[in-house]
């Protein structure tokens, strides 16, 4: 079975995934080098306009159906998006020292995700939508379960 991946965030400069990350000494550290420090860095980003991409996304969807393949889309979850945009240590510190900033940043991402679902997912109807997340190590979450619930689960529901 063939598969076609449509990453809703890959070609859209308005999305948070494009907050550049500073170089780090260790290239193996995924959560290193982010520079998101305040909500104004997000507020200046325009709401994504998916209309120019819809024809190509639909073409990929039809192509996957013709070859008995699956069309799947990736939407970045708020926790992973903000943590990688800040780097892990500043993110975890901000969860304790600046929880209002973290909450607003995560709400910003979730608002974009809702927009992507309304504008693209509902129109294209892929076979699978992957909510990209990484919020835990093998032994537990990166922040306390209570914070995880407060920051992510309640606002996302």
SS3 27: coil
- Segment 30-55 mean pLDDT: 81
Question: What pLDDT band is residue 64 in, cutting at 50, 70 and 90?
Answer: confident
What is the C-alpha separation between 20 and 104, in angstroms, rounded? 20
- Segment 43-57 mean pLDDT: 85
- Segment 121-132 mean pLDDT: 85
* Among 59, 82, 66, 65, CA closest to 135: 82
Q: What is the pLDDT of residue 134?
A: 72
* Among 138, 134, 137, CA closest to 152: 134
More confident residue, 91 or 134: 91
pTM of the model: 0.76
| Residues 64, 47 contacting (CB under 8 angstroms) | no
| Residues 30, 84 contacting (CB under 8 angstroms) | yes
């Amino acid at each position: 079975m063939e598969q076609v991946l449509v990453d809703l965030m890959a070609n859209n400069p308005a999305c948070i995934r494009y907050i550049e990350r500073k170089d780090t000494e260790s290239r193996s550290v995924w959560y290193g080098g982010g520079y998101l420090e305040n909500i104004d860095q997000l507020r200046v980003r325009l709401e994504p306009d998916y209309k120019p991409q819809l024809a190509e996304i639909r073409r990929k969807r039809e192509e996957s159906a013709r070859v008995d393949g699956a069309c799947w889309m990736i939407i970045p979850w708020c926790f992973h998006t903000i943590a990688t945009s800040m780097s892990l240590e500043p993110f975890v510190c901000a969860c304790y020292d600046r929880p209002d900033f973290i909450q607003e940043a995560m709400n910003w991402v979730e608002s974009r995700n809702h927009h992507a679902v309304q504008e693209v997912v509902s129109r294209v109807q892929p076979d699978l939508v992957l909510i990209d997340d990484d919020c835990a190590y093998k032994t537990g979450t990166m922040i306390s379960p209570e914070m995880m619930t407060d920051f992510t689960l309640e606002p996302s529901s």
